Amino acid sequence: MYQLHPHQRTLVNQARQELIKGNKSALIVSPAGSGKSIIIGEIARLATEKNGHVMFLVHRKELVEQITETFKESGVDLSRTTIMTVTRIKNRLGRLPKPTLIITDETHHSLAKTYQEIYDYYSDVVKLGFTATPWRLSGQGFESTYDVMVEGPQVQWLIDNHYLADFDYYAPKLLDTSQLKKSSNGDYSNQSIEKSLERKAFGDCVSHYQRLANGRQAILYAHNVETSEKLADEFNMNDIPAAHADAKTPKAKREQIMADFKTGKITVLCNVDLISEGFNVPDCGVVILMRPTASLVVYIQQSMRGMRYKPGKRSLIIDHVGNIERFSPPNAERNWSLKGREKRKGKQREPELDKYTTCDVCSAVFDKEENTTCPICGHEIETENESELKIDRNAELEKVDTQNFQMKTNYVITKKPEELTTVEELKTYAKAKGYKPGWIYFQQKQRGWL
pLDDT for res 255:
85
Which has more pLDDT, 187 or 246? 246
Which residues, including other chains, have CB under 8 Å from residue 427's CB and lie 6 or more apart? 440
- pLDDT digits over 92-117, tens only? 999 999 999 999 989 998 998 999 99
Confidence of residue 371 (pLDDT cuts 50, 70, 90): low
Please list the alpha-helical segments (H only) found in 123-178. Answer: 155-160
* Beta-carbon contacts of residue 42 (< 8 Å; ≥ 6 apart): 2, 4, 8, 9, 12, 74
> Of 137-146, 189-198, 357-366, 413-422, which has the strongest mean pLDDT?
137-146
H or E stretch at 442:
helix 437-447
pTM equals: 0.78
SS3 160: helix
Residues 6 or more apart from 232 whose CB is under 8 A from it? 242, 243, 244, 268, 270
Does the pLDDT at position 277 exceed 80? no
pLDDT for res 447: 83
C-alpha 268/C-alpha 173 separation (Å) is 24
* Residue 181 pLDDT greater than 70, yes or no: no
What percent of the chain shows pLDDT beyond 70? 79
Is 172 a residue whose pLDDT tops 50? yes
pLDDT at 197 over 60: no
Q: Are 96 and 82 in contact (CB under 8 A)?
A: yes
Mean pLDDT of 244-256: 86
pLDDT at residue 251 in the model: 82
- Provide the pLDDT for residue 184: 45
Q: What is the pLDDT of residue 326?
A: 82
Can you give the pLDDT at residue 350? 33
Please give the single-letter amino acid code of residue 55. M
Q: Which of 17, 90, 423, 63 has the alpha carbon at shortest distance from 431? A: 423
Q: What is the mean pLDDT of the chain?
A: 83
Average pLDDT score over residue span 35-49: 94
Q: d(Cα 8, Cα 28) in Å, to the nearest integer?
A: 11
Lowest mean pLDDT among 24-38, 353-367, 396-410: 353-367
Distance CA 81, CA 78 (A): 5
Tell me the average pLDDT across 365-390: 61
At residue 339, the pLDDT reads 87
Kindly give, in sequence order, each residue whose CB lies less than 8 Å from that of residue 224, ignoring residues fewer than 6 positions away: 272, 385, 386, 389
Q: Is the pLDDT of residue 383 over 80?
A: no
Tell me how far apart the alpha carbons of residues 220 and 378 are, in angstroms, rounded to a whole number.
24
Q: Which residue has the higher pLDDT, 353 or 73?
A: 73
Give residue 249's pLDDT.
85
Confidence of residue 410 (pLDDT cuts 50, 70, 90): very low
- Whether residue 84 is predicted with pLDDT greater than 80 in this model: the reply is yes
Span 222-246, average pLDDT: 94
pLDDT tens digit sequence for 322-345: 899 888 899 998 888 898 876 554
The CA distance from 354 to 94, in Å, is 38
Strands 286-290 and 268-271: unpaired
| 140: number of Cβ within 10 Å | 15
Lowest mean pLDDT among 8-12, 68-72, 227-231, 425-429: 425-429
Q: Exposed, middle or buried, 97 (CB in 10 Å: 0-12/13-18/19+)? A: exposed
* pLDDT beyond 60 at 385: no
Would you say residue 8 has pLDDT above 50? Answer: yes
**Residue pair 290/227 in contact by the 8 Å Cβ criterion:** yes
Strand 166-172 and strand 314-319: the pairing is: parallel
From CA 339, how far away is CA 442, in angstroms rounded? 25
Under 8 Å between Cβ of 105 and 88: no
Q: Is the pLDDT of residue 409 over 50?
A: no
Q: Which of 82-91, 101-110, 139-148, 169-178 has the lowest mean pLDDT?
A: 169-178
SS3 258: helix
Question: Hey, what amino acid is at 427?
Answer: K
Predicted pLDDT of residue 370: 52
Q: State residue 381's pLDDT score.
A: 63
Q: How far is CA 40 from the centre of its chain?
A: 17
Which of the pair, 326 or 414, is modelled with greater confidence? Answer: 326
Q: Where do the domains of the chain lie, and which CATH numbers do they carry?
A: 6-153 (3.40.50.300), 162-336+387-406 (3.40.50.300), 416-447 (no CATH)
Residue among 320, 66, 128, 104 nearest 206 (CA): 320
Residue range 294-305, pLDDT digits in tens:
888 889 989 999
Helix (H) or strand (E) holding 300: helix 296-303
351: pLDDT strictly greater than 50:
no
Distance in angstroms (rounded) separating the CA atoms of residues 23 and 19: 5
Instruction: Give the whole-number percent of the chain exceeding pLDDT 90.
Output: 50
User: Cα–Cα distance between 217 and 227 in angstroms, integer?
Assistant: 19
